[in-house]
Chain A
Amino acid sequence: DVKVTQSSRYLVKRTGEKVFLECVQDMDHENMFWYRQDPGLGLRLIYFSYDVKMKEKGDIPEGYSVSREKKERFSLILESASTNQTSMYLCASRRDSYGYTFGSGTRLTVV
């Protein structure tokens, strides 16, 4: 089974902190994605990556950056966490012609 692992299930951070959310997949997928999910807004794409060291902005990239130094790892970085970044964050990976495999999510609370 393909596995997408997110390092933390729950996270509480303070306003202004730099926050790293890690995602690792074990099936050599080219594409990786970061979404956030908020009530009534569905899944919104933050950033995605087609390959190592490549990144593309999604629909809501402001306040975020990403890093993909190795194919299996895609990190989401909150440069200076704010309370409006409190959300559920989902990582996913995808091989061409197939759908997504999702991680279990990280629920981030910024206080």
Chain B
Amino acid sequence: ILNVEQSPQSLHVQEGDSTNFTCSFPSSNFYALHWYRWETAKSPEALFVMTLNGDEKKKGRISATLNTKEGYSYLYIKGSQPEDSATYLCAPGPNTGKLIFGQGTTLQVKP
């Protein structure tokens, strides 16, 4: 079983703070890394799919980087807002078939 670890498990920040969290995964046989955001009472939604070492993706105030050689990805949120409160999941996986999810980082942004 692929071992995917996310840290921290939970995070509380004030509105306006910038924050980041980590996804670690085995670097061997890497194909792609997926990031999802899961808000309470909603479906998880896809944020990014990253495949290349050194890749950086951005969506509004959220960005992610990928290091496939050492097996980690960082997710950054600049100027956190209450609507960013969610659980952020990462999942490395192949081109087809199942993804293996980390336990997630739950972010709470206080107004």
Instruction: List residues of chain A with CB under 8 Å of any chain B CB.
Output: 4, 30-31, 33, 35, 40-43, 45, 48, 50, 58-59, 90, 94, 96-105
Please determine whether B101 and A42 come into contact, CB atoms closer than 8 angstroms: yes
Enumerate 8 A-B pairs (CB-CB under 8 Å) in ascending A order: A30-B96, A33-B98, A42-B104, A99-B34, A101-B43, A101-B46, A102-B44, A104-B42
Residues of B within 8 A of A (CB): 1, 9, 34, 36, 42-46, 49, 89, 91, 95-104
Secondary structure at chain B's binding surface: helix, strand, loop or mixed?
loop
- Nearest-Cβ distance from residue B101 to partner chain A, whole angstroms: 4
Q: Which residues of A contact B97 (CB under 8 A)?
A: 31, 48, 50, 94
User: What residues of chain A lie closer than 8 Å to B36, measured between beta carbons?
Assistant: 99-100, 102
Q: Distance in Å from the Cβ of A82 to the closest Cβ of chain B?
A: 24
User: Which residue of the partner chain A has the closest CB to B4?
Assistant: A42
